[in-house]
Amino acid sequence: MSILSLFHPRNRHQGRYDFIELIEGMPELGAFVRANPHGDQSIDFANRDAVQALNAALLKTWYGVVHWDIPEGYLCPPIPGRADYVHHLADLLAERNAGVIPRGPAVRVLDIGTGASAIYPVIGHYEYGWHFTGSDIDPVAVRSAQAIIQANRGLRGVAEVRQQKLPAHIFNGLVGVNERFDLTLCNPPFYSSSEEAANSSERKWRGLGRAGARHKRPLLNFGGRDTELWYEGGEALFISRMAKESMTVQKQVLWFSTLVSKESNLPEVYRSIKNAGALDVRTVDMAQGQKKSRFVAWTFLNRADQEAWHSRRDANAARNC
Ligand code: SAH
């Protein structure tokens, strides 16, 4: 049984957006802000440019990101939900670290499918100082993510992006034999076909009261190209592959994790993780307004190994200081 939670207490995006403050930090946002039917200030969430401006303003105001831009047609992520996943992962790391969240670049995180926005490296580094390695199969997304890192002094040297040249693989061809990651995280492509993506887009569009304006509508209100949105077999197959491959790097990662957007995919996800032989599996529910979401995390390390992992990492970091 899932327990619905609100935003994580450390999430900076509680309550309504403060548009006055956001416009102060990024005046360009002002052009998109207007009163909604309830008389509250808002933006048109079906307008990609407006969402992009809001995101840039949020990242600048809350995380000190001075440059953040993504190419036309690429997924423009809702920031508060992405931040929630990061904070819950931080709690997971704290568990076997005497309740203390490990911070700083000695904590290595792999973001599978980082996208053009590099949103998880951006949030994760500015919140906890972690080092990020992003992967993606899409060369345009890889270049865009690299450009964001280069454009922000705080991210240079503590975040990198690698192209996964084997689209059917997740860790193979990407993770070196001597590499270790405290965490892997992923927001997987969630539709099983471009038709499914288009149908869902149609539903969202109707929800935004735009049905009928076919000629003008974008694929989804948050954008997104084909490779970002769908994967043959959908997220269940993508995650099953990830779980299976996680076995091959089981001693190199402390916690593996992935978002699971469809609750109905959970049984298959659990089955794959069990078949891979994981020792511990967690499901963390998250809620963003009406939308329920969750991530599943698994590890092949027992409690003592997990504690030893933290001690070893901290000892190495102290030595390298
Ligand atoms: N992390 C971003 C983007 C998620 S969309 C966000 O949360 O907004 C999913 C991403 O996974 C896309 O960028 C897609 O190109 C990428 N992807 C698909 N298959 C992949 C694979 N095998 N390895 C790495 N990335 C992959």
Quote the number of domains for the chain.
Answer: 1
CA of 228 to the centre of ligand 1 (A): 5
Is residue 66 one of the residues assigned to a domain?
no
CATH of the domain at 155: 3.40.50.150
CA of 273 to the centre of ligand 1 (A): 20
Is residue 8 one of the residues assigned to a domain?
no
Is residue 225 one of the residues assigned to a domain?
yes
Is residue 9 one of the residues assigned to a domain?
no
Is the beta carbon of 104 within 6 A of some atom in ligand 1?
A: no
Is residue 48 one of the residues assigned to a domain?
no
Is residue 3 one of the residues assigned to a domain?
no
Is residue 220 one of the residues assigned to a domain?
yes
* Number of neighbouring beta carbons within 10 Å of residue 14: 11
Strands (E), the chain: 34-35, 41-42, 108-112, 131-136, 159-163, 181-186, 253-259, 280-288, 291-299
User: What tens digit of pLDDT does each residue of 195-221 get?
Assistant: 666 665 555 545 544 444 333 344 444
CA of 229 to the centre of ligand 1 (A): 8
Average pLDDT over residues 220-246: 76
Is residue 2 one of the residues assigned to a domain?
no
Is the beta carbon of 117 within 6 A of some atom in ligand 1?
A: yes
Calculate what percentage of the chain has a pLDDT beyond 70: 84
In this prediction the pTM is 0.90
Structural domain containing residue 201? 75-320
CA of 312 to the centre of ligand 1 (A): 31
**Which of 41-45, 72-76, 286-290 holds the top average pLDDT?**
41-45
Average pLDDT over residues 284-307: 92
Residue 194: closest CA among 135, 247, 234: 234
With the most atoms of ligand 1 within 8 angstroms of its CB, the residue from 48, 227, 237, 261 to mutate is: 227
**Cβ–Cβ < 8 Å for 296, 258:** yes
Which residues, listed in sequence order, are joined to residue 186 by a DSSP beta bridge? 112
C-alpha–C-alpha distance, residues 24 and 268, integer Å = 47
